[in-house]
Amino acid sequence: MKLLAAQIERYIPHRVPFIFVESAEVLGPHDISGICSWKADNPIFAGHFPDFPVVPGVLIVEAAAQLTGVLIAYNAEQRGISSNGSDSADMVGMLIGIKRASFHRPVFPGNRLMFKVSLGSALGGMVSASAEGYSESDDKTVKCELSVAVANRSNLIGVPDPVGSLANEKIA
């Protein structure tokens, strides 16, 4: 099943400028491939690095996590339910762990990466995934292992925000 931008936005909450998945293809219940990119006018490149803009590795891993989230949500929609029986539209995948990540070559603004993500084991609302990303010239760029928690958005409402509570405090 091929997915374009509008369909991808049904499955993950990310939006411009923080959505990196351009298109995806669900290859099966455990596998997805996708194209991810970073536009040259993205404000991140003004600071990373001004004279030599490079896509931060954490954003490359984020792109793999976004594809993982697309596949998890797609699978839930196909079943019509989330892992705990609620409406699949209420589900959100959240990156909770990066077990390993290795970067083999830099990614520059305007480059596109072709990712392949495979889901691993699932336990108690957490899913493991492995991802590999390749440049348009088929050079391996990244390999990583991720953990994603699957939660219902409605269960996240009212979760304490430690950053927000500290933001109102004055620093002496």
DSSP for 134-162 reads E-TT--EEEEEEEEEEEEEHHHHTT---H
Check whether 144 has a pLDDT greater than 70. yes
pLDDT of residue 172: 44
C-alpha to C-alpha distance for 50 and 150, rounded to whole angstroms? 37
What pTM was estimated for this model as a whole?
0.85
* CA-based max dimension of the chain: 56
C-alpha to C-alpha distance for 93 and 65, rounded to whole angstroms? 9
In order, the DSSP letters of 38-73 are: --TT-GGGGTS-TTS----HHHHHHHHHHHHHHHHH
Is residue 172 a part of any domain in this protein? no
pLDDT of residue 168: 43
Find, among 100, 130, 101, 103, the residue nearest to 116 by Cα. Answer: 130
pLDDT of residue 80: 80
C-alpha to C-alpha distance for 30 and 121, rounded to whole angstroms? 10
Select which of 14, 30, 48, 104 is catalytic. Answer: 48
The answer to whether 20 touches 68, Cβ cutoff 8 Å, is no
Indicate the number of domains in the chain: 1
User: Average model confidence (pLDDT) for the chain?
Assistant: 87
C-alpha to C-alpha distance for 98 and 129, rounded to whole angstroms? 10
- Would you call 48 a catalytic residue per the annotation? yes
If phi over 0 gives left and psi between -120 and 50 gives alpha, with beta otherwise, what is residue 138?
left
Neighbours of 9 (CB within 10 A): 16
Q: Give the CATH number of the domain where residue 79 resides.
A: 3.10.129.10
Is residue 56 a part of any domain in this protein? yes
Is residue 161 a part of any domain in this protein? yes
Check whether 100 has a pLDDT greater than 50. yes
Is residue 45 a part of any domain in this protein? yes
Higher pLDDT, 32 or 73: 32
Find, among 81, 45, 57, the residue nearest to 131 by Cα. Answer: 57
Is residue 115 a part of any domain in this protein? yes
Residue ranges making up the domain that contains 74: 2-167
